[in-house]
Amino acid sequence: MKKMATMLAIASYLACNSPETKVPAADTLAKKHTDTTATLHGDNLVKAEAPDAGSEMEQGYCLPRGGNGKMQSPINILTSEAGKDDQKGMIVKFQTDIVGAENLGHTVQLDFKEGSICMADGKTYNSKQFHFHTPSEHLIDGMTFPMEMHIVNTLKDSTPNAKPSYLVIGILFKMGKENKFIKEFLKDLPSEEGHKDSIPSGSVNLNDLANEVVKSGKISYFSYDGSLTTPPFSESVKWVVIKQIVEASPDQIIAIEKLEGNNARHVQSVNGRKIVSHS
Q: Which residues bind Zn ion (CB under 5 A)?
A: 150
- Of 50 and 120, nearer to Zn ion (C-beta) is 50
Give min distance, CB of 39 to Zn ion, in A. Answer: 21
- Of 11 and 128, nearer to Zn ion (C-beta) is 128
Give min distance, CB of 264 to Zn ion, in A. Answer: 9
Give min distance, CB of 110 to Zn ion, in A. Answer: 13
Give min distance, CB of 131 to Zn ion, in A. Answer: 6
- Of 138 and 150, nearer to Zn ion (C-beta) is 150
Give min distance, CB of 229 to Zn ion, in A. Answer: 5
Please say whether the beta carbons of 274 and 201 come within 8 A. no
What is the C-alpha to C-alpha distance for residues 101 and 189, in angstroms, rounded to an integer? 6
Please say whether the beta carbons of 73 and 169 come within 8 A. no
Residue nearest Zn ion by beta-carbon distance: 150
- Of 11 and 50, nearer to Zn ion (C-beta) is 50
- Of 15 and 239, nearer to Zn ion (C-beta) is 239
What is the C-alpha to C-alpha distance for residues 171 and 244, in angstroms, rounded to an integer? 8
- Of 9 and 241, nearer to Zn ion (C-beta) is 241
- Of 47 and 150, nearer to Zn ion (C-beta) is 150
CA 119 to chain centre: 20
Give min distance, CB of 150 to Zn ion, in A. Answer: 4
Give min distance, CB of 87 to Zn ion, in A. Answer: 29
- Check the CA dihedral 186-188-189-191 and report its sign: positive
